[in-house]
Structure 1
């Protein structure tokens, strides 16, 4: 006789619909024939039963529909192999954590059922009261887990929202610090825009992620924030600085670091590193610490290239602006002495992007000397 196809039916169990304050559960029963479900005394539970019956039940797509508890009636003679059903269920993501109760498994297959993924196993003879207790316990555990999952999801959403708000606040702080720099020098905004654009190009040329490149670019806009502590007589001097004035100007690196370094913000900590190290040199001849090679944070090495390039192509009262090509040659000639060779190579690899940036943000005459 050919195998009977799987059949599906729904049987309400609760005598009254679940109230808004009560949990409601769906139990799927995989069995050989529909009358088998009658052995389950589930009165008192707010639940419904979905029956998946027939010799082909183990292979039926119906067993993969959502359920709070799946009860598998192990009946190899009738075509229901509990181990196969459990493995099939666990192979689907939607049932990776579903409670599965296997009934009628021979004692010898009890461990195998658990290893296949069963949550609980009951062997013959099955006591109806014991079965009811097991089912109630599994349903309660399932509903408790679902509640915890919902609470966890809500908590994660709150955390994500808090992180987003914190990131927005960080960017707001940075924007306002940029405004502070522009109050001292109305040309600073364009300089910071070009440096940030060059920093992104270099970072991407080095293979950094888009997120890391954007962080470095944003943090780079505060590389000269320490200059707000420099007297106007030096900061706005229309000509080269004296030696003592140059030494005072150099203090902007340390002062910028002190303004930013003790913040818990990742971006402000990154900005503090850049502020402190963007005047260091690859050969150790820079300031303020005389760091060399990879002692200099990567972000500082990136911004050093971007900052000098923009300083060279910008006009000052004591010098003419260099062409972008001449500034590029300068960077290449000083790779390995002033600059990290890898950063210069990354800069050159993105040359078309750099030219586009310069074209869209042309430098104007600036009076602030670059120490």
Structure 2
């Protein structure tokens, strides 16, 4: 048998099969013979021929049905099928086309026409296979490039967030806050944001921007920042400047986490009743992210020891915060906080001061 392109001949008459075989083999083609439509469908899958020469009128299933089955199978759908028939009625040719046939040959078969059709369809099969291979390679390359891009973006995101974390920790070296405080208040803020119906993306941005709320404290003198007693009026005016200092440190980024950090740093000491600082904003004029971070920051600060006070109990803290609803805090934010107290307490117990040392508190961090 020749090593040339394989041609599958499907015909229920042995004489017709042998005739086509005799015409094709001398031209360098390999030939496989099938005696009916069932075998034709089976051999099309088994041998994946370059071209199928399909008789129409056969016992069992007709050439129309066999061709339709071959064309509907993803494994064999690209194989060109030539209907070899003595039928010349237009309706028969329409039915053949509807079955998926690619061409026709009329019995008795003309040798020159047969070889011309087969030669053309073998090339068509080769082109189709090359096109499929090209698309498969292209899809693999797109998947590879997409994976590389995703990995690069994740690396860039991780690097950017580590930069933000390191920036947020600079204030810690001068202030009484610990890494665990920053972790807790950030996660409180994200949890409240989700409870209020904000998207996962917005909540995640708040999670990573919240640590920047007190970055401006690096500009406050230690004698004021670490003073164990109550600040006098002049000292208090200097302390309040940490909001504007923080905003100036973070300004200039038109979008993203640093921009949100700027908004939070500037506004997290504003009060719902307008008696906060630095601008005395009231109500919804205060950006929502700052209103959320404010309640998270105060909750954790009340529970934590400071140079000027002991840590309050959870019950005392919640009592104080309930009294701040509608004065210090946005009532909606306060209500959202109270609705998720179980989650808040879980966060509190997850990030303990003694378990956070330097930047390691942030490694592998997520919103989970």
Shorter chain as denominator, the TM-score bin is: 0.5 to 0.7
Distance in 2, matches of 1:281 and 1:143, equals 65
The secondary structure found in structure 2 opposite 1:124 is strand
Kindly report the root-mean-square deviation, in angstroms, between the aligned alpha carbons of the 2 structures.
4.7
The secondary structure found in structure 2 opposite 1:322 is coil
> TM (normalized to structure 1)?
0.66
Distance in 2, matches of 1:160 and 1:133, equals 40
Whether contact under 8 Å (1:204, 1:210) holds in the other structure is yes
Q: Which residue does 2:192 correspond to in 1?
A: 202
Whether contact under 8 Å (1:72, 1:82) holds in the other structure is no
Q: Which residue does 1:335 correspond to in 2?
A: 325
Distance in 2, matches of 1:215 and 1:286, equals 24
Q: Which residue does 2:357 correspond to in 1?
A: none
Q: Which residue does 1:122 correspond to in 2?
A: 102
Whether contact under 8 Å (1:313, 1:363) holds in the other structure is no
The secondary structure found in structure 1 opposite 2:78 is strand
Q: 1:100 aligns with which of 56, 67, 78?
A: 78
Q: 2:345 aligns with which of 322, 346, 355?
A: 355
Whether contact under 8 Å (1:71, 1:100) holds in the other structure is no
Flag structure 2 segments of 5+ consecutive residues without an equivalent. Answer: 84-91, 106-113, 355-368
Runs of 4+ in 1 over 6 A off after TM superposition: 27-33, 35-41, 48-54, 57-60, 69-74
* Distance verdict in 2 for CA 1:138–1:351, change over 3 Å: same
Deviations 1:244-300 (A, max 9, x none): 433333332233233334448843343333223322334555444555555544432
> TM (normalized to structure 2)?
0.67
Distance in 1, matches of 2:281 and 2:198, equals 23
* Distance verdict in 2 for CA 1:145–1:184, change over 3 Å: same
* Distance verdict in 2 for CA 1:232–1:135, change over 3 Å: same
More helix by share: 2
The question of 1:77 aligning with 2:62 is answered yes
Whether contact under 8 Å (1:273, 1:300) holds in the other structure is yes
| Matched positions, count | 322
Whether contact under 8 Å (1:58, 1:84) holds in the other structure is no
Q: Which residue does 1:267 correspond to in 2?
A: 257
Q: 1:163 aligns with which of 126, 132, 153?
A: 153
After superposition, where does 1:56-71 map in structure 2 within 5 Å?
A: none
Greater Rg by CA: 2
Whether contact under 8 Å (1:197, 1:217) holds in the other structure is yes
Flag structure 1 segments of 5+ consecutive residues without an equivalent. Answer: 1-10, 16-26, 90-94, 365-371
Q: CA deviation at 1:124?
A: 1.4
